[in-house]
Structure 1
Amino acid sequence: MSRNTSRKRKNVFPWIVAFLTLVLIIISKTAFAVGENDLKQGMQHYASRQFDRARLCFEKAAKAGNTEAQTMMGVLYFKGNGVEKDDSQAARWFEKAAKAGHADAQTFIGVMNLEGQGIPKNGKKALEWFEKAAQAGETNAQNYLGTAYLKGTETAQDTGKAVYWFTRAAEAGDSNASKILGALYLNGQEGLPKDPLKARLWLQKAADQGDTDAAELLKQIP
């Protein structure tokens, strides 16, 4: 895998927060759950950057048990929007929603466990949360699991499982997973022979989504 690819995988949590926040805003428009109206109002305030008003709405819905609102409370505390930045409070809200089965929150709390952000570092628990979110189809969690199995981080190294999770994320449209798969098939890996055809397939998919690293890797295929 290229050095550029490795560098870009570092410090991606803020980007994931932004991406999943956008997903939550979209989902909220069709939400039917406890605290639905407060959640929708909170999302509208959040989108217009009225964070104080958003917090009041999210907090009301969150206390009523709305898991999307609980996740958004975590986002507010993580970013310091409408509240003083507080990673421990962010982790508390993410974990509350995660335990109730919210996949995005499971990814968030998994990353915070992985990095020891707001809570003690716990790689094993991070993987447990990623597994739950990945099974629910959350592509960021699938990427984290793929990376963990590829590198043998907090688990036994398993190229087959790494490819499985990267493939699931790539098939769901995740360009980063497509790029990683392409690089793996291009260079080969223990338990995974080189396959120029598959390398081209996945790298082209990522390049078509605007990934410049993937486009550069494509040039290495004869």
Structure 2
Amino acid sequence: MRTIRDNSLISVAMASLLTLSVSILPVHAQTAADAALNMANMLDGAGGGISSGELLAALQNAAEAGQPMAMWQLGTMYENGEGVARDPAKAFGYFAQIANQHADAAPKGVEADIVARSFVKVGDYYKQGLPDAGIPADANRSHALLLHAATYFGDADAQYRVGLLYLREDELGVNPLQSARWFSLAARKGHCPAQAQLGELLFNGVEGIAAQPVEGLMWLTLAQERCLGTADAGWIDEKRNHALSLAAPDVQSEAAALALSIAPQFAGF
């Protein structure tokens, strides 16, 4: 099995194994991330009289037993300070443990989304560095982790972020053609920021890609609709409105009709 260790990538002090048993795997969870949340909800005090301390112990118990869903839940709790004191080093440890142990998990398996996102999380920590965990900033390692999530797991957010890296000289170097290719992979999975970035590149044209204003405006339209009400809505609106101000009326109408006809095809999974 491939790992992302550097001698020993993680060193997390786990709580002692407690007697509270955890064998809860929601039957109808759509993804492993949903399953992790559902597991926590089922153990929450409101759902069965279990205290927050018992919930934490249960998750630690499950993580110690190797359940990636529990590791993910603990990682996000420590990363955000939800129910525990915020501790980036512990968060990193849990995410890295998932990535180490499941680097070759089935790309379409039930836990693939958690593993892919753990690679992205660990990559983010390497990008900035985490002195408390003995992790130096390492852009090359960060890129490698992100690329694994984007290629092996086909994670849409990772693919989008690789596309962004190809727009910056200080990252993977400016290469709009490569950027458009990565954005396209994510856009076709319903990732609306990737749809917006791809739309702008196609609308304007880049080296290696002739301007395609109809298709570009189509992607910008899809992105605006799908990202409505999200944190990305503002900059996406700006990009689409700018394209609209430059597009001829026939381009606008053709793009709108195209977006309407194929929207369900790229609505995501």
Same fold (TM over 0.5): yes
Say whether the 8 Å CA contact 1:206–1:214 is kept in structure 2.
no
AA partner of residue 88 (structure 2):
D
Partner of 2:31, secondary structure, is helix
Report whether the alignment pairs 1:219 with 2:218: no
Give the Cα separation in 2 of the matches to 1:79 and 1:53.
19
Partner of 2:31: 27
AA partner of residue 103 (structure 1):
A
More helix by share: 1
1:201-220 Cα deviation digits (max 9, x unpaired): 21111122124335423423
Say whether the 8 Å CA contact 1:51–1:81 is kept in structure 2.
no
1:21-51 Cα deviation digits (max 9, x unpaired): xxxx7424986xxxx9xx8532434697975
Give the Cα separation in 2 of the matches to 1:40 and 1:89.
22
1:41-86 Cα deviation digits (max 9, x unpaired): 3243469797544422221111111122212211111011122111
Give the Cα separation in 2 of the matches to 1:51 and 1:190.
55
What is the aligned counterpart of 2:40 among 26, 39, 42? 42
Give the Cα separation in 2 of the matches to 1:155 and 1:134.
15
Give the TM-score normalised by structure 1. Answer: 0.74
Partner of 1:125, secondary structure, is helix
Q: Percent same amino acid among aligned pairs? A: 24
AA partner of residue 59 (structure 2):
F
Partner of 2:167, secondary structure, is helix
Give the Cα separation in 1 of the matches to 2:46 and 2:175.
45
Say whether the 8 Å CA contact 1:52–1:83 is kept in structure 2.
no
Give the Cα separation in 1 of the matches to 2:138 and 2:74.
22
In the superposition, relative to structure 1, how do residues 71 and 169 fare at CA in structure 2: closer, same or farther (>3 Å)?
Answer: same
What is the aligned counterpart of 2:165 among 141, 145, 148? 148
Give the Cα separation in 1 of the matches to 2:38 and 2:209.
47
Give the Cα separation in 2 of the matches to 1:150 and 1:46.
44
Bigger shift: residues 190-199 or 58-67? 190-199
Partner of 1:96: 97
Give the Cα separation in 2 of the matches to 1:152 and 1:217.
25
Report whether the alignment pairs 1:205 with 2:206: no
Partner of 1:65: 66
Report whether the alignment pairs 1:116 with 2:116: no
**Greater Cα radius of gyration, structure 1 or 2:** 2
Give the Cα separation in 2 of the matches to 1:30 and 1:47.
19
Report whether the alignment pairs 1:132 with 2:167: no
Give the Cα separation in 2 of the matches to 1:120 and 1:183.
35
Bigger shift: residues 79-88 or 148-157? 148-157
In the superposition, relative to structure 1, how do residues 103 and 54 fare at CA in structure 2: closer, same or farther (>3 Å)?
Answer: farther
Report whether the alignment pairs 1:184 with 2:196: no
Gaps of 5+ in 1: 1-24
In the superposition, relative to structure 1, how do residues 30 and 204 fare at CA in structure 2: closer, same or farther (>3 Å)?
Answer: closer
In the superposition, relative to structure 1, how do residues 177 and 53 fare at CA in structure 2: closer, same or farther (>3 Å)?
Answer: farther
